[in-house]
Structure 1
Amino acid sequence: MQVIDIHPPLAAAAVPSQPIVLALGFFDGVHLGHQAVIGRARAEADKRGLKLAVMTFDVHPAVIYRGVPASSVKYLSPRPRKSELMAHFGVDLLYFIHFTPAFSKLSPQAFVDQYLVGLNAAVVVAGFDYTYGKRDIANMKTLPQYAQERFEIITVPKTVDAGEKVSSTRIREALDLGDVDLANHLLGYRYQTSGTVVHGEARGRTIGYPTANVQAPAEERIPGIAVYTVRLQVNGQWYPGMASVGRNITFGPGRPVTVEVNLFDFHQDIYDAPVRVEWVHRLRGDMMFDSAAGLVAQLAQDEKDAKAFLKGLTD
């Protein structure tokens, strides 16, 4: 897959020499609804013998449209993860448009002329709720009048689960509540975050449960405070374990939130190593214990429960 950055305006070098099928969306998380759009576009590209391209943005549009501080946005899929997922789902060309204030001021007609026609789109595919400006005048129903029959348009209906639309917002809310099981169901794969193993307080090793303290990039969304069954990837290998997202309240108040992963039967030194955490299942909520002994007893039960859940996984 080729990844191309577009710093508006569109440069000739970024324009494909042959027509393409172009899928549109921000695609945070590349969840089941997004996969429906990409899958429909992939099928159309295959039918026509064309490349599949996806157009997305470097930052969430809310950063420009609503003035949300860029540093406060927590993504389901930051750029590296989004690129990885797009390649997995069969995208040939991935365009990241840098969402500048000037780009945000384009009229709907200018956007269509400069970026859809400009990118040599033979077919444009997007979800039913895709917009490219003010919602009432720049939506999928009005796109044909701007397209002026220069490309075909395919609108993909919403993907519904349990009577509700599958959406990035719904997944974010589930993660914030610690419901990684629901989030994974809506994503269609198990949620992952990245990070680096840093030095913590090393208290875990004194009670028989040493942990890798994983510091995630600021832009990644970490599941809410709870204890989870996880897998951790280091040096290209996945290892089973359990993770605590919390403040270690048993050892005092006012502590920062940390991600601490205990790996089963693991004895390597992985300080400073880049890792990836796969959030498999929520084991329980955060608990405060009267003593370290009480914590150790609960950790023993958590390990048993985590191993039993991991044993039941099919992949």
Structure 2
Amino acid sequence: MQYINESKTIHLNQLGGYGKMQQRIIKDHRELFQSDYDIAACIGYFDGVHLGHQKLINKTIAVAKEKGLKSALITFDPDPWTVIHNKNKVNHITPIKEKMRLIASLGIDELIIVQFNKEVSKLEPQVFIEQILIPLRVSDLIVGEDFKFGFKGAGNVAYLQEHAAIFFHTHVLTFKEQDDKKIGTTLISQAILKGDFDRANEMLGRAYTLSGYVKQGNREGTRIGFPTANLDVVDEYVLPPKGVYAGYVEVKGEKHKSVLNIGHNPTFNHSKELSIETHILDYNDIIYGELLKQSFVYRIRDEIEFPSVEALIKQMEEDVKIALEVLK
């Protein structure tokens, strides 16, 4: 058989940061050759790379340094949930490129991406251990207390401790609780969908951010003195509800305060499709085609259809004042 798995080094400047991280793509777990070095690894889908995930990653790095191993993060693509439930499009807090950037920024040596398909979803726990974890030469596996793996989630922490102890040591972490609920991707998604960025950002450990390229718009904002960058967001992000938000936008490596609108521009009645537009404060450069990273800090108000352009301008002036107060 031909070995079709891939390995390459990802430089963080390609992902909006600095440093480098080795990336290994496992396209076919059946052809996974024995690795030539031991690793300390955490494992999971890691959507959001939230504070709980960061705890796992930091522990993995610490164990690796203590034992003289490479640190690794094992994840899956596409999202196992979408494969198991036959879903084509599911929005995520961190689509794969954003997730890679965040993981690399935390200092992991190697990102291992296992291509997830129906066959992988049906692997019994012991087969998963023998065909994936052992060939990867996992010496120490770092997991959360609710970690499950294998067909229908039959494998768990107790299974690892009983059946995998001769192959590797399993470290089990508990997660901090907030308001009697664990930090989790579902809770963060729910907070984003409500526009509750106090809660979402607290659990993420950073401001929620999406990326998109600036595309040509109708220039209505420019004509009324509030030029906006219209974002073409290709990745499937979890989007907040329609409305106006205060946040920060990174453009050409620099961070600026901004007021963002998500909606249909009802006053001008120009947008049948949902539009995402950001008014960058104190910034006038032409940036068509540039990649912007827009963060969300505070929900200012709902999207409103105004009786006149003058009423809209007056409200936008008030929006900017609120944003400056929030972001100061």
TM over 0.5: yes
**What SS does the corresponding residue of 2:297 show, helix, strand or coil?**
strand
**Unaligned ranges ≥5, structure 2:** 1-20
**Residue 5, structure 1, aligned to residue 25, structure 2:** yes
Aligned equivalents of 1:12, 1:250: Cα separation in 2 = 57
Q: CA deviation at 1:55?
A: 0.4
Range 132-141 or range 277-286, more displaced: 132-141
Q: Are residues 2 and 207 of structure 1, via their aligned partners in 2, closer, same or farther at CA, if it must alter by over 3 Å?
A: same
Count residues in correspondence. Answer: 308
Range 245-254 or range 226-235, more displaced: 245-254
Aligned equivalents of 1:282, 1:273: Cα separation in 2 = 25
**Residue 245, structure 1, aligned to residue 265, structure 2:** no
Aligned equivalents of 2:132, 2:96: Cα separation in 1 = 21
For residue 249 of structure 2, what is the amino acid of its counterpart? Answer: L
* Counterpart position of 2:80: 61
**What SS does the corresponding residue of 2:149 show, helix, strand or coil?**
coil
Aligned equivalents of 1:148, 1:55: Cα separation in 2 = 19
Counterpart selection for 1:266 from 278, 283, 286: 283
* Counterpart position of 1:208: 225
* Counterpart position of 2:308: 291
Q: Is the 8 A contact 1:229 1:281 kept in 2?
A: yes
Aligned equivalents of 1:6, 1:256: Cα separation in 2 = 37
TM-score, with length taken from structure 1: 0.92
TM-score, with length taken from structure 2: 0.89
For residue 138 of structure 1, what is the amino acid of its counterpart? Answer: G
**What SS does the corresponding residue of 2:324 show, helix, strand or coil?**
helix
Q: Is the 8 A contact 2:147 2:156 kept in 1?
A: yes
Q: Is the 8 A contact 1:36 1:159 kept in 2?
A: no
What stretches of structure 1 move > 6 A for 4+ residues in a row? none
Matched ranges for 1:73-112 at <5 A: 73-112=90-129
Aligned equivalents of 2:39, 2:214: Cα separation in 1 = 42
Q: Is the 8 A contact 2:39 2:72 kept in 1?
A: yes
* Counterpart position of 1:277: 294
Q: Is the 8 A contact 1:112 1:146 kept in 2?
A: no
Aligned equivalents of 2:290, 2:59: Cα separation in 1 = 39
Equivalent pairs: percent with the same residue?
A: 32
Aligned equivalents of 1:278, 1:195: Cα separation in 2 = 12
Q: CA deviation at 1:179?
A: 1.7
Q: CA deviation at 1:255?
A: 2.8
Q: Are residues 87 and 253 of structure 1, via their aligned partners in 2, closer, same or farther at CA, if it must alter by over 3 Å?
A: closer
Query: C-alpha deviations, 1:193-245, integer Å up to 9, x for none?
Result: 11111112211112111111111014222322121112222222222211001
Q: CA deviation at 1:110?
A: 0.7
Q: Is the 8 A contact 1:180 1:223 kept in 2?
A: no
CA RMSD of aligned residues (A): 1.7
Aligned equivalents of 2:252, 2:129: Cα separation in 1 = 44
Counterpart selection for 1:142 from 150, 159, 168: 159
Query: C-alpha deviations, 1:50-95, integer Å up to 9, x for none?
Result: 11111001111112111111xx211211121111111122211100
* Counterpart position of 2:66: 47
Aligned equivalents of 2:275, 2:44: Cα separation in 1 = 33
Aligned equivalents of 2:82, 2:38: Cα separation in 1 = 32
